[in-house]
Structure 1
Amino acid sequence: MQIAIPKEIKNHEYRVALTPTGARELVGRGHAVTVQAGAGDGAGFADTAYEAAGARIEADVARLWDGAELILKVKEPQPEEVARLKEGQTLFTYLHLAAEESLTRGLMASGATCIAYETITDNQGGLPLLAPMSTVAGRMAIQAGAHSLEKAQGGSGVLLPGVPGVAPARVAVIGGGVVGENAARMALGLGAEVTVLDKSIPRLETLDDRYQGRMKTVFSTADAIDEAVRESDLIVGAVLIPGAAAPKLITRAMLAEMKPGSVLVDVAIDQGGCFETSKPTTHAEPTYMVDGVVHYCVANMPGGVARTSTQALTNATLPYVIALADKGWRKALADDTHFAAGLNVHAGRVTYAAVAEAFGLSHAPITGLLA
């Protein structure tokens, strides 16, 4: 199969969809891997490393896309990339379509088969291709939040761990999944006072047992969120509804109850954000102020640590890429119902129910497409 690895063009996105190690695995199975010149530079993978792995380097972007059967990316395609997609091609990347109607309609118009990393499931009910980037984003959320608390960044001037004789910062994490646990773990390790809010009692029990009560676990209710808003120095939004838009848990009116210079880090921004005042930002300008509260809403947080993120992403995606390359998308998805959950758009139709519902579009069940 002809596999293309374009250079990511989203603002300050330094990751690449495949490492040279991954390229070598695919070439060894008889597939042709073409990498856009400089695609791996931001993550520290030179063109020569891909060539040594058996991949071909292509400087002509149009030729790269036009000759591809399978296109591997990291972030959702930008408008000029959507324009390059065509019927018969398979796109495999993060899509987060429930927050992007124009992108959804653009992918429908392309006629391509579009498979989203973030909606693929596993036997345990997890999201195996979202998990590695969720781990990175959760850990980065505390780094970003701690930096944003500095006075020069508009924050309240609170040091996360405090010092002897001075209390540590209070950190609330809304959502106890992969992002939330990693954020809480980082905050706890830095010495902050940490509270995790979640609606799953079993999940709260797991966290309580795992961390031996060192972090507070609270069942998430409107009252509990109100208290977190009033008491916290840093709040991390880590709520996920797979494939659907994130719920708005903190309204603009609630910001008036927060301490001046408090920080909101919205890791759910790819899915529309879980704070009413959230809007996507970039690594170039990561924060903005609303009513005296610092908002950090970078939509591609893991791109800031591109080498670690690229390696972690390839580790997770490679088995699925091999299946697509060896079998083609239809058989690969038919053989694995969990993989099939990743199909979001095919031949002009939306195949993922939550995305169709978000925009009032008709839903084409995947079962009919795989028959």
Structure 2
Amino acid sequence: MRVGVPKETKAREHRVGLVPASVRELVQRGHAVWVQASAGAGIGASDADYEAAGARIVAEAEGLWREAELVVKVKEPQPAERAWLSSGQLLFCYLHLAPDVPQTDDLLRSGASAIAYETVTQPQGGLPLLAPMSEVAGRLSVQAGAHCLLAHQGGRGVLLGGVPGVAPASVVVLGGGMVGTHAVAMALGLGARVTVLDRSVDALRRLWMQFGPALQTVYATQEAVEQACMQADLVIGSVLIPGAAAPKLITRDLVRRMRPGAVIVDVAIDQGGCSETSQPTTHDAPTYVEEGVVHYAVTNMPGAVPHTSTHALNHATLPYVLRLADQGLAALREDAHFRAGLNVHAGQVTHAAVARAQGRVHTEALDALA
């Protein structure tokens, strides 16, 4: 199969779909890999490194997109890229379609098969291709929040860990999944007072067992969310319903009642955000102030640490890329967990949560593939 690896075009996105070592694995199995020139520059991988691994370097993006049978990248294709997709192509990347109607429209028109990293499942539970970036984003959320709390960034001027005689910042984490767990670890490590809220008692029990009494665990009723957010210096939104739009746990009225200069880091922004006041931002302009609260809602947070992120992502995605290259759509037909990643196929929405979020007709993935 001919595998294409384009250069990412989203603002300040320095990751790349495949590292040279992954390319080498594909080439050794008889596949042709085309890599766009300078695609790996953000992780320090030169065109020569890719050529040494057996890749062909392609100067122009359009030719790569139009000729590749399987396109492997990181972030969702941008509008110009979506125009180059065609029927029969396979696209494998993060899509986050639920809040993104224009992207869904374009993918449906293309006739391509779009497989989303974030909805692939595994037998033991969890989302194996979302997990590594959730780990990165969870840790980054605390770093970003600490920076936003600085007075010259519009924040309350609070040091996350405090100093002797002065209380540390109050950090509230909404959601105790992968993002939330890593956010808790970072915030506690920096000395903050941390509260995590979740509607799963099992998740709260796991977190309490992992972090002990230093972490306050609270069942996430609406009242509990309101009380915690009003007392917080930093709120990290890390709720996730796989494939679906994020629930709006933080209302505009609640934001008005938060402390002036408090910070919301909405990691759920890829799925629409968990605050009514959240709007997508970029690494070029990561924050804005709404209702007196600083909002950080960058849609590709892990792109800020591309070395770490790209290698962590490749460790998770490579086995799936190899299966797609070896077997094509047959890899999805025989594996229900891999098939859960199929969001759009041949003009049909094949993920139920995406269909519900956008009010579209849903076709079961196995039926569509048949």
1:256 Cα offset (Å): 2.1
Spell out the pairing of 1:185-334 with structure 2 (5 A cutoff): 185-329=185-329, 331-334=330-333
- Matched residue, 2:367: 368
Question: What amino acid is aligned across from residue 231 of structure 1 in structure 2?
Answer: Q
The TM-score normalised by the length of structure 2 is 0.99
Amino acid at match of 1:343: L
- How far apart in 2 are the matches of 1:170 and 1:256? 18
Q: Which residue does 2:84 correspond to in 1?
A: 84
CA–CA distance in 1 between the matches of 2:255 and 2:353? 30
Once the two structures are TM-superposed, the CA of residue 361 in structure 1 deviates from its matched residue by 1.2
Whichever residue aligns with residue 355 of structure 2, its letter is A
Matched AA of 1:233: D
Corresponding residue SS for 1:99:
coil
Q: CA deviation at 1:370?
A: 3.6
Q: Is 2:147–2:153's contact at 8 Å kept on the other side of the alignment?
A: yes
Q: Residue deviations 1:109-166, cap 9 Å, x none? A: 0000100000000112200000000000000000000000000100000000000111
- The within-5 A match list for 1:1-371 is 1-329=1-329, 331-371=330-370
Amino acid at match of 2:38: G
4+ residue runs over 2 A deviation: none
Q: Distance in 2 between matches of 1:257 and 1:60?
A: 51
**Separation in 1 of the partners of 2:107 and 2:363?**
15
Letter in 1 for 2:267: V
Is the 2:149–2:158 Cα contact (8 Å) retained in structure 1?
Answer: yes
Q: Distance in 1 between matches of 2:2 and 2:102?
A: 28
SS at match of 1:212: helix
Deviation at 1:369, TM superposition (A): 2.9
Paired residues in the alignment total: 370
Task: Give the AA of the match of 1:232.
Answer: A
% identity of equivalent residues: 61
**TM-score, normalisation: structure 1:** 0.99
- Matches of 2:142 and 2:297 in 1, distance apart? 13
Shift of 1:168: 0.4
Question: Deviations along 1:73-115, whole A, 9 cap, x unmatched?
Answer: 1111100000000011100000000010111011000000100
| Mapped partners of 2:241, 2:113: distance in 1 | 23
| RMSD, aligned α-carbons | 0.8
Alpha-carbon distance between aligned partners in 2 of 1:115 and 1:252, rounded to the nearest angstrom = 34
Structure 1: which amino acid aligns with 2:257? Answer: E
Give me the whole-angstrom Cα distance separating, in 1, the residues matched to 2:292 and 2:368. Answer: 51
What per-residue deviation string (whole Å, max 9, x for no partner) do you get for residues 213-239 of structure 1?
221110001111111111110000000
Deviation at 1:367, TM superposition (A): 2.0
Q: CA deviation at 1:259?
A: 1.0
